[in-house]
Copies of this chain bind each other. A is one copy, B any other.
Amino acid sequence: MHKLYFHRDPKRGVEETYNWLVDEVKELGEALRMLDNKALENEFADVIAWLASLANVANVDLEKAALNKYDSRCPKCKRSPCQCTF
């Protein structure tokens, strides 16, 4: 995503990129109520693409952030599979 879109992302800015992400999450919600699996896959792809663009604009390494918190264990109970009782 960085290579594909970073030349454009910073011009859009954090707030507008976040608003795009929110719109894509809404579209994902609508697709979840349909029975069109291809459309659903498309919406999941769009959400992760906009999340990656937002991370780029906010100067966050998305992969590193995810692995730091969830790398093969639950961040709360520290086990895999998670054994939290809540």
Contact = CB atoms under 8 A, between A and B. Distances in A.
Interface of A: 1, 3-8, 14-15, 18, 21-22, 25, 28-29, 32, 37, 40-42, 44-49, 51, 55, 58, 60, 62, 64-66, 68-70, 72-74, 80-82
Contacts of A46: 69
Dominant secondary structure of chain A at its interface with chain B: helix
B66 A45 contact: yes
B58 A47 contact: no
Given A29-B18, A68-B41, A81 B4 contact: yes
A4 B60 contact: no
Nearest to A5: B82
